[in-house]
Structure formats: C-alpha cells, structure tokens
Amino acid sequence: MSKYWSDRVHRLTPYLPGEQPKLPGLVKLNTNENPYSPSPKVLEALRGELGAGLRLYPDPNSERLKTTIAELFGLAGDQVFVGNGSDEVLAHAFQALLKHDRPLLFPDITYSFYPVYCGLYDIDYRTVALDDDMAIRVEDYRPPNGGIVLANPNAPTGRLLDLAAIERLLANNLDAAVVIDEAYVDFGGESAAPLVRRYPNLLVIQTLSKSRSLAGLRVGYALGQAHLIEALERIKGSFNSYPLDRLAAAGAVAALLDRDYFEHTRQQVMATREWLREALQQRGFRVIPSAANFLFARHPDHDAAELARFLRERHIIVRHFRLPRIDQFLRITVGQDEECRALVRALDQL
C-alpha cells in the first residue's frame, strides 16, 4: 500500500502463474509446455538474427510475421494482430473489445487470467457455469452481453467445443465480440479461423507457446476482421510500439513455416495423451475428455492437494487449483513418454 498508487493498483488481484522451479531432474508437468524442443529451423533462424542488427528497433508492425500467419490461415495481413505472448494479445482484446456497459460472459471454470484482466480494465463480468460434465453449453451464452470469451479447448478442463457449436455462439451473439482463445487447439481441436471471414464478431487468439514449443519466446496472435484488428492495433500503438523483439519475430516465422515438425510433434503429444489417459483411468482416475496437451483428472479416493504433494515429493510437479468445483482435480501436462511413465510409476506407489 502506498499513497503513490493509483486507485486501480489498490484493487488488483494479479494472476498467479504456475511455478518455474529450476531443479535438475524434475518431471515438470505443471505449465502445459510442449515436451519437445522447438523445430531445428527455429533455432537456425534465431542464430541468423544474432548480430549487429540487434542494435536496431524491430519492425513495429512485424510485417513478415503477420504475412506468414495470414498466409497460413488464408487471411489478409490486416486480419492479423501479433503480440508478446497470447496473454498480451488477450489483455489488449479485453481492453479493446470486451469492455462495454453490458457484462462480459465467460465460464465459471476457465483460464483464471480472464477475471484478472477484468480487474485491470474495470470490466463488469458474469460467469456462466459449466455443466456437470465440465462442458460449456453455448446456449447459456445469450444477449444482452458486452462480449464473450471462451477457451477452446477449455482450460483447465481440456474439453472441446466443435465448430458447429462455436458457429451457433457467434450467430446468437452478433452484437458482441466473441473471443475464442485457442491456445490448445492444435492438440485435437478444429480452429474457428475459417469463420473469421463470415463473422464480424469473431476474434480467434492463438499462441506459439504450446504446439510450437516456444513458451520461452513469447509470441501470440489474433485473427479477425480488419475492424477488430484495428481496435487491437490502436491499443498496442498507445502502449508499446515494439512488443515483439527481433528474435521472437524471426523464430516465430520459422516455427510457423515448419509444418512437418509441427505435425510430427503434435501427433506425438496426442498419442502420449491417450496413453496417459488410459493409464490414469486404469488406476481409478476420472479423466475429463481432453483435446489439449494436458489432462484434468480426479481420483475418488485421494485428495487432490495430497496427491500433488505426494507427486512433488517424488520430483513430479502437476498443477492443483484451490478453486470451487475443481479443487479435487489435478491438471497434468502431457510430457514426453518417459515423463508420463514416471508419473504413472509414482502413482503405482500410492
């Protein structure tokens, strides 16, 4: 507390990211990182940027990266926005598109940064309960509202909405911006990006942190019609002219262009997820169907916090949220095969 703080600072409750412990030999299944290295072509592109050019500002518009993304999705350059991780892109979207007189809607169980953004920008919001199977019912999201934000697949549940459901949501809420946060969509979902051309209210947000193995590089992007992208650009241009450094932009381009590596590693993550799901179910866990690179699971006989502690003592860390409805679940990132086997071996010691 300090008399120098603005009113807003006094009222904030910041987001708590998953921990990043620096212990060797740790099986780190707590922050949904990709278990595989970035593409060798990314590392090559980064090496190519290491030189005197770093003394110069980056392109403030990240044109090359925007063009790469636009071509990947069959969109125009002015239908793409890029930022310093999808968290920054989301923050700008909340400020630019989701703050209105009517309340913003999002699920009661979802990415816990959403209410934090609402605190930062003083956005009125209502949460909409997931059903008893932890699924989003799009019919529960109805006008009047000031916007909707959904993670698809949802986090931390991993549950997916199909594209038909997303389209119903968009059609039913044409007066409000609908933000679909697709951080995990490449692990089994279908992106809403092809709907951008038909729905003026749709903003799709993706990240390179998960399926492109670049959490350490901080690149996210948004896809939408030009009028929505312009709103984000106006915020960005009033906040920070150069959110993407030269290395991040170059690495991101290389990652998006290496389709083979992307395809190979995401298939591998999905295969390991299915193996781990079965292994957990065989050991009595109830596992929510997941289209993400993590599983959300509970055990009828073991308290989740105690389970997390038990695993941590064995140098395996998973994420446990002390939140209503989900405090008996663990969110387990899909690691490499050997990491998942280590998890299962530890559970067998229970």
Task: List the one residue from 162, 164, 239, 345 that touches a copy of itself (CB under 8 A).
Answer: 239
The window from 28-36, 131-139, 184-192, 318-326 that contacts a copy of itself (CB under 8 A) reads: 28-36
Q: Is 9 in the site for a copy of itself (CB under 8 A)?
A: yes
- Nearest distance from C-beta of residue 301 to a copy of itself, angstroms: 33
Q: Is 333 in the site for a copy of itself (CB under 8 A)?
A: no
In the bound state with a copy of itself, the residue whose beta carbon lies nearer, of 26 and 346, is: 26
Contacts of 335 (CB under 8 A, 6+ apart): 27, 28, 29, 35, 272, 343
In the chain, DSSP assigns E strands to 27-29, 80-83, 104-107, 125-128, 147-151, 178-181, 202-207, 220-224, 286-287, 294-298, 316-318, 330-333
Cα–Cα distance between 280 and 314 in angstroms, integer? Answer: 17
Q: Is 34 in the site for a copy of itself (CB under 8 A)?
A: yes
Task: List the one residue from 243, 291, 326, 332 that touches a copy of itself (CB under 8 A).
Answer: 243
What are the angstrom distances between the C-alpha of 201 and each of 42, 90, 91, 177, 180?
33, 15, 17, 5, 11
The window from 30-38, 128-136, 159-167, 279-287 that contacts a copy of itself (CB under 8 A) reads: 30-38
- 173 contacts 145 by C-beta, under 8 angstroms: yes
Task: List the one residue from 29, 65, 105, 116 that touches a copy of itself (CB under 8 A).
Answer: 116
- Nearest distance from C-beta of residue 176 to a copy of itself, angstroms: 7
Task: List the one residue from 167, 190, 245, 337 that touches a copy of itself (CB under 8 A).
Answer: 245
In the bound state with a copy of itself, the residue whose beta carbon lies nearer, of 184 and 285, is: 184
- 179 contacts 99 by C-beta, under 8 angstroms: no
In the bound state with a copy of itself, the residue whose beta carbon lies nearer, of 247 and 346, is: 247
Q: Which residues pair with 332 in a beta bridge?
A: 295
Looking up tokens 């389970």 gives 307
- 203 contacts 83 by C-beta, under 8 angstroms: no
Q: Is 324 in the site for a copy of itself (CB under 8 A)?
A: no
Task: List the one residue from 25, 55, 300, 324 that touches a copy of itself (CB under 8 A).
Answer: 55
Cα pseudo-dihedral 79, 83, 86, 87, rounded to 10: -130
Cα–Cα distance between 153 and 190 in angstroms, integer? Answer: 9
Cα–Cα nearest to 255, from 30, 87, 46, 10 = 46
The window from 6-14, 131-139, 256-264, 310-318 that contacts a copy of itself (CB under 8 A) reads: 6-14
Half-sphere exposure of 219 (CA within 13 A, CB side): 24
Task: List the one residue from 66, 99, 159, 273 that touches a copy of itself (CB under 8 A).
Answer: 99
Instruction: Name which of residues 252 to 271 contact a copy of itself (CB under 8 A).
Output: none
- Nearest distance from C-beta of residue 263 to a copy of itself, angstroms: 17
In the bound state with a copy of itself, the residue whose beta carbon lies nearer, of 203 and 288, is: 203
Q: Is 28 in the site for a copy of itself (CB under 8 A)?
A: yes
The window from 81-89, 134-142, 182-190, 301-309 that contacts a copy of itself (CB under 8 A) reads: 81-89
Task: List the one residue from 78, 167, 190, 233 that touches a copy of itself (CB under 8 A).
Answer: 233
Applying CB under 8 A, what is the total number of residues that bind a copy of itself?
Answer: 90
Instruction: Name which of residues 147 to 186 contact a copy of itself (CB under 8 A).
Output: 147, 175-177
Site string for a copy of itself, 277-316 (x = CB under 8 A): ----------------------------------------
Cα–Cα nearest to 185, from 167, 212, 164 = 212
The DSSP annotation for 131-154 comes to: -TTS---GGG--SS-SEEEEESS-
Phi and psi angles of residue 104, each rounded to the nearest 5 degrees, phi first: -75, 145
Task: List the one residue from 24, 25, 56, 322 that touches a copy of itself (CB under 8 A).
Answer: 56
Cα–Cα distance between 69 and 79 in angstroms, integer? Answer: 10
